[in-house]
Amino acid sequence: MRRTVWAAGVGAAALILVTATGAHAEGTGDVRVVSTVVNGGKNVTVGTTNKVTFPIAITVKDNSGVKGLTHVSTFNRSNLYGFFDWSGTTCRKKSSTTSVCTATMTVDPAWIPSGDDIDSNRIAGVWQVNATVKANDGNYWISDDIARYKVKRASKLTTVITPEKVAKGTKVTVTGKLSRANWEDLSYHGFTGQEVKLQYRKAGAAHYSTVRTVKTGAAGKLSTKVTVTAAGSWRWYFPGTTTTARIVSAGDAVTLK
């Protein structure tokens, strides 16, 4: 599989365009990928400042035993771009024929904007993993699309209630803002047109419950009025999308006079 890499070396770059793809598996002998788990089965979320590192655990089997991984790549399935660097591998032997080889993938968001010829935000979504595995007897196997997972843009969400101390039966205004990481300028921008759930927890209760759903307006802003019947806390909850991470705001409390 041929690929184009924008830069190479230590701290190198991020954006990779896979120029030849398509599901296939080929090689020699009986070495095979048995299973693959990305990030412990969770989504991978990338923000604007913090380096992100996650594991891809690949279980490999061969009658002669497993030597390791000779190639690992991961990229968006729809546009074939990716920005994670394969930064190391460790293999743990489970039996004489089977090992779990864990590839570490890393990205520093600072790498992302300078390495692409498309809007980097388009790279969020459903990704796949390809790998080439090798056995102790020299056999190898090229395995494409051995796992799928989601890479999402990080999100932020706030809640503000005014006033915070009122008489029972008074209406208060609950506002907030939903924003998400923009990988082009490495800042957070308001996310408009999204359904966000307003949740309430009565003072002393263990859990929040959803009261209503509100759509974000311009710049991702939220606003609604509620009637206070008891002291408690309010918060916003965004369930996320295919490309944007779920987020729950911190609660803001209302007390009674």
List pLDDT tens digits, range 108-118: 999 998 766 78
Q: What's the length of the chain?
A: 257
pTM above the 0.75 mark? yes
For residues 13 and 118, is the Cβ–Cβ distance under 8 A? no
Q: Compare 7 and 102 and report the one with higher pLDDT.
A: 102
Shared domain for 18 and 140, answered yes or no, is: yes
3-state secondary structure the chain: CCEEECCCCCCCCCCEEECCCCCCEEECCCCEEEEEEEHHHCCEEECCCCCEEEEEEEEEECCCCEEEEEEEEEEECCCCEECCEEEEEEEEECCCCEEEEEEEEEECHHHCHHHCCCCHHHHCEEEEEEEEEEECCCCEEEEEEEEEEEEEECEEEEEEEECCEECCCCEEEEEEEEEEEECCCCEEEECCCCEEEEEEEECCCCCCEEEEEEECCHHHEEEEEEECCCCEEEEEEECCCCCECCEECCCEEEEEC
Same domain, 242 and 212: yes
32 and 124 housed in the same domain? yes
Asked whether 26 and 32 are in contact (CB, 8 A), the reply is no
Locate tokens 């263990």: which residue?
A: 206
CATH number of the domain residue 225 falls in = 2.60.40.730
The pLDDT of residue 117: 73
Do 225 and 160 fall into the same domain?
yes
- Name the domain boundary from 89, 117, 152: 152
- Residues 184, 141, single domain; the answer is no
Q: CA 59, 9, 115, 109 torsion: positive or negative?
A: positive
For residue 87, is it left (φ>0), alpha (ψ between -120 and 50) or beta? alpha
Domain count, the chain: 2
Would you say 114 and 125 are in contact if contact means Cβ atoms under 8 Å apart? no
Same domain, 224 and 145: no
Tell me the C-alpha distance between 138 and 132, whole Å. Answer: 12
Q: 14 vs 237, which has greater pLDDT?
A: 237
pLDDT at 9 over 70: no
Residue 4 has pLDDT above 90, yes or no: no
pLDDT tens string 56-82: 999 999 999 999 999 999 999 999 999
Question: Does one domain contain both 50 and 117?
Answer: yes
Give the pLDDT confidence score for residue 199 in this predicted structure. 98
* 220 and 136 within one domain: no
| Long-range Cβ pairs for the range 209-215 (8 Å, 24+) | 210/237
Asked if 254 and 234 count as a contact pair (C-beta separation under 8 A), the reply is yes
Q: What is the pLDDT of residue 202?
A: 97
Compute the average pLDDT of residues 235-251. 98
Same domain, 11 and 35: yes
Boundary residue ending a domain (152, 174, 197): 152
- Per-residue pLDDT at 13 exceeds 90: no
Q: Quick: pLDDT tens for 142-179.
A: 999 999 999 999 999 999 999 999 999 999 999 999 99
Which domain does 97 fall in, by range?
3-152
Question: Do 238 and 141 share a domain, yes or no?
Answer: no
Radius of gyration of the chain from its Cα atoms, rounded to whole angstroms: 23
